[in-house]
Amino acid sequence: MARRKGIVETHSYRTFLIVAAFIFILPIWARPIPGEALHMDIVNLMVLTGIYACAVLGLNLLLGYAGQISLGHAAFFGIGAYTTAILCTRFTWFPTWLGVILGASLAGAIGWLVGKPVLRLKGNYLAMATLGLGEIAFILFSQLKGLTGGTVGMLNIPPLSIFGLKFDTDIKFYYLVWAIVLVIMLLTINLVLSRVGRGLRALHSSEVAADAMGVNTGSYRVKVFVWSAVLAGLGGALFAHFQLYINPESFTFALSILFVTMVVVGGMGDIWGGLVGVVALTFLPSIIQVFPEWIPGIPESLTNFSNYALVLYGLLLIIFMIFLPKGLSYGMERGVAAGRRSAKLLLDRIRAHD
């Protein structure tokens, strides 16, 4: 058994190394894809993927491991973004990296304030409460005009610079974001393989039994919620310094749903799955955008992804919940295993035939 457990662990860390190596070399051969129809800037999209991955890694801990739903994580993403945007545009001397840290911290602090009372609720009630949080945050972003610039948003956010090193190109930002994501990833793997990870999964499965076995479920719920808020805030702050422009439209209900969809599509309670979900759904709009251009006479409204994004996310949620509740990565694993089995069967038959 000691050996077996060892294998499970090294398996996780080996995957980590492979992913890290892949991310390191990706920009070297991933030039923007030329051609009329499919114009995808992979590095640019991967930056966005990394930014979303911060939030989704946290949400996966909350939703996939601890089993607590949040339909309002766009609020924390937005709080992170606005905090650093406001600080860095008001005070031009303000260090941008400090803005990012404060953005993540404020998101965590608000997560704690909200989470304390709200996490006593379960299931549908928790979903409702977090939904409300998302809506309140959106309204505040739009209405606190003096602070946030209202619906117009905030312009001229300075690019991120850390000790004189300016992250003002896609490729520089790419390496920065993914270094951060990989660190979070490593922390998350460590966490889920530990007693805390087991406690969270126990809480997911049976709260009464987890309580009885000595897991302080109340405290675990708040801590994992706050941590997920911090990570969403961090993602949001990076988003602000990457786009250099934010407005409330970036932090709507659709974003909260996008995060949940990423977790579900990738695989709840599966760190690597979460990452697969983020990649798939961040690239999806660019891929889908191509098709309407091929169909002549298609209405203008269908060429804009944001017009039907929510419909698509909803559909994906339904389809995955029914057919692939364990997510894309599990489905791929199963597919590969099935492929291997049938290939082996075929080989055996051929051999038997000989």
Partner 1 sequence: MNESILEVEEVTKLFGGLAALDDVSFSVEAGEIKAVIGPNGAGKTTLFNVLTGVYRPNSGRVILKGKNIIGSRPDQITAMGMIRTFQTVELFEGMTVLENTMVGCHSRSKYGFLSNSLRIPRAMREERRIFEEAMQILTDVGIETRASDEGMNLAYGQQRMLEFARALASQPEILLLDEPAAGLNPYETGELSNLISKLRDRGLTIIIVEHDMGLVMGISNDIVVLDYGEVIARGTPDVIKNDPKVIEAYLGIGTE
Q: Which is nearer to partner 1, 13 or 24 (CB)?
A: 13
As measured in angstroms, the least distance from the Cβ of 99 to partner 1 is 24
Best CA proximity match to 236, nearest among 102, 332, 328: 102
CA distance 269 to 138: 28
Q: Which is nearer to partner 1, 43 or 57 (CB)?
A: 57
> Would you tell me which residues interact with partner 1 (CB under 8 A)?
1-2, 4-5, 187-188, 190-191, 194-199, 201-202, 205-206, 208-218, 223-224, 227, 269
CA distance 80 to 74: 10
CA distance 156 to 141: 17
As measured in angstroms, the least distance from the Cβ of 214 to partner 1 is 3
**Token pair 């009329």 in the structure block, residue:** 36
Q: Which is nearer to partner 1, 216 or 304 (CB)?
A: 216
Q: Which is nearer to partner 1, 101 or 191 (CB)?
A: 191
As measured in angstroms, the least distance from the Cβ of 162 to partner 1 is 22
As measured in angstroms, the least distance from the Cβ of 109 to partner 1 is 16
Q: Which is nearer to partner 1, 17 or 212 (CB)?
A: 212
Burial class for 146, CB neighbours closer than 10 Å (0-12, 13-18, 19+): exposed
Is residue 157 within 8 A of residue 89, CB to CB? The reply is yes
Best CA proximity match to 236, nearest among 52, 1, 2, 24: 52
As measured in angstroms, the least distance from the Cβ of 12 to partner 1 is 12
**Token pair 């990076």 in the structure block, residue:** 238
